[in-house]
A = this chain, B = another copy of it.
Amino acid sequence: MVGRPTMKDVAAEAGVSAMTVSRVVNGEGSVAPRTAARVEAAVRKLGYQRDELARQLRRADQPSRTIGLLVDNVADPFMAAVASAAEDVARRRGSMVLIGSSRADPRREREVVAAFTARRVDGLILTPAAGSHRFLRPAQVQGTKIVCVDRAASGLAADTVVVDNSAAVEEAVRHLIAHGHRRIGYLGGRQDIWTNGERHRGYRAALRAAGIAADPRLIRHGLRSAPSAAEAVTALLASAGPPTALLAGHENLAVGALMVLPPGIAFIAFDDFPLAERLTPPVTVIAQDPVALATTAADVLFARIHGDTSPPRTVVLPTELIRRGSGEVPGPFAEQGR
């Protein structure tokens, strides 16, 4: 016997019909114990395993128990945590996870979505790349449930699980201002990605609220890697009016910045990271909980898959400003004698 044995093979081995094998394999009660035992013996003998593909084809109305997870890049620690948590929930729900990386490329994102739906995923968890996500509408209409995590998608009505990026950054910048900083540099990723846009919005809001004019020379957008962040920091500090504090818009940029950041410059990073407290000074961060984000997103997704048809919701989870030292380095306008 080469290739997988089928129900027919098992049926022949046990001397029953394929239908009876199906009943036994699916644990339906209406099979005589003696018959069931014979079938089970045949299953074991042949190493039979039900073919999920054929099963899903026949049972088109039932869920396929496969979901798709589409992230920028699984290698990113934040995304890896999201993936792990989503996989965990899926497993508990008896589903498999198909994974795909968009590398923040809208075209690639579309391709991966197509590959997912072609395999009849029940739903999709995604961190939307740039651009409109209207193209997901047909998939939704055809029954694929969609949940956005970490970022909102434009042009799409879908459940969304995020943190309040803008408010979190606003708080952090206020914190820097309170410690006597006026020239606060900003290191941001691609602005066309929702999260980065929100964070930048928070940065400007905090400055505006404090009556500080935003100096465009202190703002570096579109940074895509740790080395590019390091370069940006070096350039900023060497410039005419250097910043006395810096905010890094996400973990990668923080790592790059920290490679070249001299002491004396205040620093806050979006996203917590391992060993942040062992650096000198320990790094103040805006922490979010990727596991909670992904777990919530997956829970929402499965609720949808199991029939929840209420209007799309946006769940906002909390962030926390963890003061460790680097964010409390005093600036030139710090109050004395405290």
Number of A interface residues, CB 8 Å? 57
A238 within 8 A of B: no
Chain A stretch 277-318: residues in CB contact (< 8 A) with chain B = 277-280
A278, B278: Cα distance in complex, Å: 9
Chain A stretch 316-338: residues in CB contact (< 8 A) with chain B = none
Chain B residues contacting A64 (CB-CB under 8 Å) are 53
**Interchain CB contact under 8 A, B273 and A258:** no
In the bound complex, what is the Cα–Cα distance between A212 and B56 (angstroms)?
62
Query: Which A31-88 residues have C-beta < 8 A from chain B?
Result: 47, 49-54, 56-57, 60, 64, 66, 69, 73-77, 79-81, 83-85, 87-88
Q: Pick the contact of A275 from B2, B51, B73, B255 — CB < 8 Å?
A: B255
| B51 and A118 contacting across the interface, CB-CB below 8 Å | yes
Closest to A81 in B: B75
Query: How many copies of this chain?
Result: 2
Give A337 Cβ to nearest chain B Cβ, in Å. Answer: 31
**Interface set, chain A 157-198, CB cutoff 8 A to B:** none
Stretch at the interface among A16-24, A98-106, A125-133, A146-154: A98-106
- Can you list, as one digit per residue, whether each of A1-20 has a CB less than 8 Å from chain B (1) or not (0)? 01110000000000000000
Q: Closest residue to A60 on the B side, CB-wise?
A: B3
Whether the pair B88, A101 counts as a contact (CB closer than 8 A) is yes
Given contacts A66-B119, A118-B52, A259-B278, contact A77 B77 (CB under 8 A): yes
Residue of B nearest to A277 (CB): B259
A247 on interface, CB distance cutoff 8 Å: no
Complexed CA–CA distance, A142 and B6 (Å): 12
Kindly identify, within residues 106 to 134 of chain A, every residue whose CB is under 8 Å from any CB belonging to chain B.
Answer: 114-120
Given A74-B80, A118-B50, A275-B279 in contact, is the A98-B96 Cβ separation under 8 Å? yes
CB contact between A57 and one of B57, B76, B143 (< 8 Å): that residue = B57
A150 to B338 CA separation, bound complex (whole angstroms): 54
Question: Complex formed: what's the CA distance from A43 to B79 in Å?
Answer: 35
A279 to chain B, nearest CB (A): 6
Residue A97, interface by CB 8 Å:
yes
- Residues on B with C-beta less than 8 A from A54 are 57
Docked complex Cα distance between A56 and B56 (Å) = 12
CB-based contact B52/A119 at 8 Å = yes
Query: Which chain B residues border A142 with CB–CB below 8 Å?
Result: 3-4, 47
**Chain A contacts to B: CB under 8 angstroms:** 2-4, 47, 49-54, 56-57, 60, 64, 66, 69, 73-77, 79-81, 83-85, 87-88, 91, 96-101, 114-120, 138, 142-143, 226, 255, 258-259, 273-275, 277-280
Q: What 4 additional pairs, Cβ within 8 angstroms, besides A53-B53, A84-B101, A278-B279?
A: A3-B60, A49-B114, A52-B118, A226-B274
